């Protein structure tokens, strides 16, 4: 049975109105990573960090999946093989489009995490500083987001998928953040056919067998149609 492993990044949600990180005017042009996306930043100013993720959580809650998310959910449903979606995104749009079993390697906006005991629970739309953990009752709640310097989630499962992939696709990611940017190398080394679908060439574009440039809402549905028509 053929297996397709798909990595998505912020670019797949751009046409749903959610900002990317490194494009012109992106999130990292508006906020310093060290202030809002590191454990040190959270320790220094938890209110600033909670506010940053409250803003993103509200935007994600109001966003709708676009035709690229919908096409991937259809591929999962109709492809006569296994389709695994690994996402760096935290916006939940893959699930809103009907995708299942999505591996959120950078966490999720709709989840809260207790720094003390590791308990997770559904995050309120607005998380406040000192939110008590429902389990250990300490007030060390944080957004369930993987920050720079922290280990991404599901890495063992992801590597197991990469080494058994027949096709690996990267969609809407700049290829500047590891370990995700190294996934194409893992998949290619294991014999997968690799394809990049991106608005612009990523930092690792040369490592792909095939590339499709353009907006995800155009390139992804075409690519999915081709796969389903084989």
Instruction: Cite the active site residues.
Output: 106
**What is the rounded distance in angstroms from the CA atom of residue 144 to the CA atom of residue 132?**
14
Residue 216 interacts with ligand APR (CB under 6 A)? Answer: yes
When the beta carbons of 188 and 205 are compared against ligand APR, the nearer one is 205
10 contacts ligand APR (rule: CB under 6 A)? yes
Query: Of the ranges 76-84, 113-121, 182-190, 193-201, which one interacts with ligand APR (CB under 6 A)?
Result: 193-201
Please check whether residue 106 is in contact with residue 90, taking contact to mean a CB–CB distance below 8 angstroms. Answer: yes
| Strand-by-strand arrangement of the 107-114 sheet | 120-122, 107-114, 141-145
Sheet strands side by side (includes 3-8): 103-104, 82-87, 3-8, 167-171, 193-198, 210-213
Is 50 near ligand APR (CB under 6 A)? no
Q: What are the residues whose beta carbons fall under 8 Å from the beta carbon of 144, sequence distance 6 or more?
A: 107, 108, 111, 112, 113, 120, 123
| Binding residue for ligand APR, selected from 7, 9, 46, 131, defined by CB under 6 A | 9
Nearer to ligand APR, 12 or 114 (CB): 12
Q: Is 23 in the site for ligand APR (CB under 6 A)?
A: yes
- Token reading at 147: 């920050």
Q: How many residues does the chain have?
A: 230
| Minimum CB distance to ligand APR smaller for 179 or for 191 | 179
* Residue 14 known to bind ligand: yes
User: How far is 123 from 29, CA to CA, in rounded Å?
Assistant: 26
**Which stretch, 118-126, 133-141, 169-177, 182-190, contacts ligand APR (CB under 6 A)?**
169-177
- Distance in Å, CB of 69 to ligand APR, minimum: 12
Q: Cβ–Cβ contacts within 10 Å for residue 137, how many?
A: 10
Residue positions in the annotated binding site for Zn(2+)?
A: 114, 117, 133, 136
Residues that bind ligand APR in the complex, under the rule CB under 6 A: 9-11, 14-15, 20-23, 26, 88, 106, 172-174, 176-177, 198-200, 202, 215-216
């Amino acid at each position: 049975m053929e297996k397709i492993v798909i990595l998505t990044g912020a670019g797949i949600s751009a046409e749903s109105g959610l900002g990317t990180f490194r494009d012109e005017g992106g999130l990292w042009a508006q906020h310093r990573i060290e202030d809002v996306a590191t454990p040190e930043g959270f320790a220094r100013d938890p209110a600033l960090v909670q506010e940053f993720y409250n803003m993103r959580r509200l935007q994600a809650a109001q966003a709708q999946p676009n035709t690229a998310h919908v096409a991937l959910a259809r591929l999962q449903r109709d492809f006569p093989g296994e389709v695994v979606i690994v996402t760096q995104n935290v916006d939940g749009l893959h699930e809103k489009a009907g995708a299942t079993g999505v591996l959120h390697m950078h966490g999720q906006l709709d989840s809260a995490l207790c720094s003390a005991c590791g308990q997770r629970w559904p995050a309120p739309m607005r998380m406040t500083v000192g939110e008590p953990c429902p389990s250990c009752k300490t007030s060390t709640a944080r957004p369930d987001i993987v920050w720079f310097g922290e280990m991404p989630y599901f890495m063992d499962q992801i590597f197991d998928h990469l080494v058994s992939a027949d096709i690996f696709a990267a969609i809407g990611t700049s290829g500047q953040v590891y370990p995700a940017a190294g996934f194409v190398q893992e998949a290619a080394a294991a014999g997968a056919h690799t394809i990049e679908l991106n608005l612009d060439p990523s930092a690792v574009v040369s490592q792909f067998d095939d590339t499709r440039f353009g907006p995800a809402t155009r390139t992804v549905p075409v690519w999915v149609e081709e796969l389903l028509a084989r």
